[in-house]
Amino acid sequence: MYTFRRMLKASTLAACSAAVLVSTAQEQVKLGQAITEVSLAEFNLIAEPSGTGFPAGSGTAQQGRTIFENRCALCHGSNGEGNSDATVLVGGNMQSAETPLRTVGSYWPYASTVFDFIRRAMPANAPKSLTDEETYQVAAYVLYLNGLVAEDEIMNAQTLPQVRMPNAEGFIDRSHIQ
């Protein structure tokens, strides 16, 4: 009984301070530590269609050929023909009678994604091991294999996101359906 009464007392006390408790129920601790955008330069790998996030540097397909041979061809073939549906990088035609082969050249709507994806995820056996310069070079080579840029066209933060992708108009945005 004693304990029970003590509990009652405690809960009355709690009820008295309930106003505080209830209001803090909506209030959160704030433990995020301020950080500057500048300090995220190495951490943030997002390269956007607008060109935002592309690093300094540049490269051509000519320069990228050797890197592709050495670092990519094992899984993607010397000419980007791939060894599976997942690794084919060239060819395809969205209007073919059969199920169309969807690749960088035939399907991808944005060139920026080529740089963004290679920089964050490729080569699959050693992601993030290329320098920015090498990434521009090999991205240029992938675009070149698809006939989207010339062999000596300089790819950099300005030019690469501007490369016209054949299937750019092929997508219907459904993000409003949530």
Partner 1 sequence: MTKSSKGQNIELDPERVAANGLLSRRHLLSAALGGAGLAMARPVIGQEPGINLEIPAWSKAPGPGTSPYGSRSAHAQLERQSGFGNPLYPGGGASRSPLQHLQGTITPNSLHFERHHAGIPAIDPAGHKLVIHGLVRQPLVFDYEDLLKYQMVSKTYFLECSGNSGALLYGGNPDGTAQSLHGLVSCAEWTGIPLSVLLEEAGLLPDARWIAAVGADAASMGRSIPLGKAMDDSLLALFQNGEPVRPEQGYPMRLFNPGWEGNTSVKWLTQIKVTRNPLQFRDETSKYTDTLPDRTSLQFTFPMDVKSLITSPSGQMRVTQRDIYRVTGIAWSGAGSIRRVEVSADGGQTWGDALIESQQLDKALVRFSIPWRWNGAPAVLQSRATDSAGNVQPTRDAVIAAKGTINRYHNPCIQSWGVNTAGEVTNVYV
Q: How far is the CB of 92 from partner 1 (least distance, A)?
A: 11
Q: How far is the CB of 104 from partner 1 (least distance, A)?
A: 8
Query: Could you say which of 46, 66, 78, 151 contacts partner 1 (CB under 8 A)?
Result: 46
Residue 86 binds to partner 1 (criterion: CB under 8 A): yes
170 binds, among ligand HEC, partner 1, none (CB under 5 to 8 A by kind): partner 1
In the shown chain, the binding pattern of residues 73 to 92 toward ligand HEC, with x for contact by CB under 6 A and - for none, equals: -xxx---------xx-x---
Per the DSSP assignment, residues forming a β-bridge with 155 are 59
DSSP structural state of residue 38: G
| Residue number with CB closer to partner 1 (15 or 121) | 121
Output the CA–CA distances (angstroms, integers) from residue 162 to 8, 45, 49, 74, 177, in the order listed.
71, 19, 8, 29, 29
Per the DSSP assignment, residues forming a β-bridge with 58 are 156
37 binds, among partner 1, ligand HEC, none (CB under 5 to 8 A by kind): partner 1
Question: Cα–Cα distance between 43 and 172 in angstroms, integer?
Answer: 32
Query: Could you say which of 17, 44, 66, 79 contacts partner 1 (CB under 8 A)?
Result: 44
3 binds, among ligand HEC, partner 1, none (CB under 5 to 8 A by kind): none
SS3 12: helix
SS3 156: strand
SS3 59: strand
Residue 108 binds to partner 1 (criterion: CB under 8 A): yes
109 binds, among partner 1, ligand HEC, none (CB under 5 to 8 A by kind): partner 1
Amino acid occupying residue 138: V
DSSP structural state of residue 149: S
